[in-house]
Structure 1
């Protein structure tokens, strides 16, 4: 019985830890971010893991990325610009940026 309770507790903890990742990926999909980006492969823009690798050591990266999500960007990853996403609020942009930086 103790083993069953331990396994259930472990699974509950795993679900609690993994849910925000899935929720934030769902947010990225709902805001059309995944039309140009994927988690682990370059598409039109860089993969989110590449973005995390490039900026994760920068203390201001979450704010900077949130700004780029809302206002657009060009030149950081090549000639293809990232257009602004008017459908993303400031809070959503911060959530997305924080999630992206967690994908190391």
Structure 2
């Protein structure tokens, strides 16, 4: 029976069910869509691609308290090696040079841009 069904798909007699794709970060919206019974076919949640450790990550507010914490987290948890820390004051902000040195010690290069 499976062979016959596959042959029907190959000849174009049968078509696959439509697929509606939602980013997992919009999961509540996807489940609401299902609950309302508006779907035909499959509803699929996708997970975003992981960060590319060889790429560059831009952190806005990167020299503030949360931005610096986030920059450290990106380096230690995700292996990010290239950062651009964007802030209003750039290198003039307090503790920026220490942050850049700390990130360098963790194996990352950080460029600060105002």
TM-score by shorter chain over 0.5: no
What TM-score bracket applies, with the shorter chain setting the length? under 0.3
* Superposition TM-score, scaled by structure 2 size: 0.24
- Which structure's CA Rg is the greater one? 2
Higher relative contact order (CA 8 A, sep 6+): 1
